């Protein structure tokens, strides 16, 4: 039995936390954004389903970005895809505050943010068959073997995401950590509700909508590869 399979076997019996709150210092501007802009762009966690058309004041395709970090990619994608609704989920408040300030500065009306654990959000707040696309870019790889159980990409979680995606919806993963890319590939290739858009066992070319971040560019200069995995919900 592979390590991935062994982790999946006990997943449902554990309370998984794929993150640690090492927030660091919140700057005054980030705190001000949280204080003043959250009512306009933030969604409080609740044990009830979100009414997406009501929150965005329109009916449009929904893209959800899990773990958006400092928000650079999410902001870029929302700006270049104005006909989509974009929901970001992030647990670290400094990144949330930074994104809120950027949303206001860019005058974007198609982004909303939840500051909570993605597993809880998808379990309690996202309706089944309501999402066109889910993005998970550069999640924490938890490189030490004893921490692999904390990795976000696990069979049970991707099955939960499949329930929320519409038929034909897309799950797009990306990482610059090769061992985690291989882990992701094994997890996804063993799913029955997804099909690999580039064929079984293959990584994808980076699509135009995923921006290249400064962190990614720096890594590429050091010889680090980036692995995209794009799956369609069947």
The domain 3-14+25-233 is placed in CATH, from the list 1.25.40.80, 3.40.50.150, 3.30.70.60, 3.50.50.60, at 3.40.50.150
77 band by pLDDT with thresholds 50, 70 and 90? very high
232 band by pLDDT with thresholds 50, 70 and 90? very high
83 band by pLDDT with thresholds 50, 70 and 90? very high
State the pTM of this model. Answer: 0.90
221 band by pLDDT with thresholds 50, 70 and 90? confident
* Range of weakest confidence among 19-28, 143-152, 203-212, 220-229: 19-28
- For 2-60, the pLDDT digits (tens) are 767 556 554 453 455 555 555 568 999 999 999 999 999 999 999 999 999 999 999 99
Give the mean pLDDT of the chain: 92
CA 42/CA 30 separation, integer angstroms: 14
Q: How far apart are the first and last CA of the chain?
A: 27
Q: What amino acid positions are annotated as catalytic residues?
A: 140
User: Please, what is the Cα angle at 119 between 130 and 199, to 5 degrees?
Assistant: 65
CA 19/CA 188 separation, integer angstroms: 21
Q: For residue 155, is pLDDT > 60?
A: yes
DSSP secondary structure code for residue 77 in this structure:
H
Classify the C-alpha dihedral 209-62-202-212 as positive or negative. Answer: positive
Domain boundaries, the chain: 3-14+25-233
DSSP letters along 5-69, please?
A: HHHHHHHTTS----------PPPHHHHHHHHHHHHHHB----SS---HHHHHTS---EEEEES-T
- Please name the residue that has the structure tokens 């909508």: 209
64 band by pLDDT with thresholds 50, 70 and 90? very high
């Amino acid at each position: 039995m592979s390590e991935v399979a062994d982790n999946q076997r006990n997943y449902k019996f554990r309370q998984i936390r794929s993150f640690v709150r090492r927030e660091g210092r919140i700057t005054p501007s980030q705190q001000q954004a949280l204080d003043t802009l959250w009512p306009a762009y933030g969604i409080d966690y609740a044990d009830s389903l979100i009414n997406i058309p009501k929150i965005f004041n329109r009916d449009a395709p929904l893209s959800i970005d899990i773990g958006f970090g400092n928000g650079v990619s999410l902001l870029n994608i929302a700006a270049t895809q104005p006909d989509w609704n974009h929901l970001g989920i992030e647990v670290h408040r400094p990144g949330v505050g930074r994104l809120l300030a950027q949303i206001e500065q860019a005058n974007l009306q198609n982004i909303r943010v939840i500051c909570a654990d993605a597993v809880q959000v998808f379990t309690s707040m996202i309706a089944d068959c309501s999402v066109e696309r889910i993005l998970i870019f550069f999640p924490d790889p938890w490189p030490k073997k004893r921490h692999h159980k904390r990795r976000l990409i696990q069979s049970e979680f991707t099955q939960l995401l499949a329930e929320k995606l519409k038929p034909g919806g897309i799950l797009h993963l990306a990482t610059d950590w090769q061992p985690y890319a291989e882990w992701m590939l094994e997890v996804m290739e063993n799913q029955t509700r997804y099909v690999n858009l580039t064929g079984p066992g293959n990584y994808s070319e980076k699509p135009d909508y995923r921006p290249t971040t400064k962190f990614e560019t720096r890594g590429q200069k050091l010889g680090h590869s980036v692995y995209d995995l794009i799956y369609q919900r069947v």
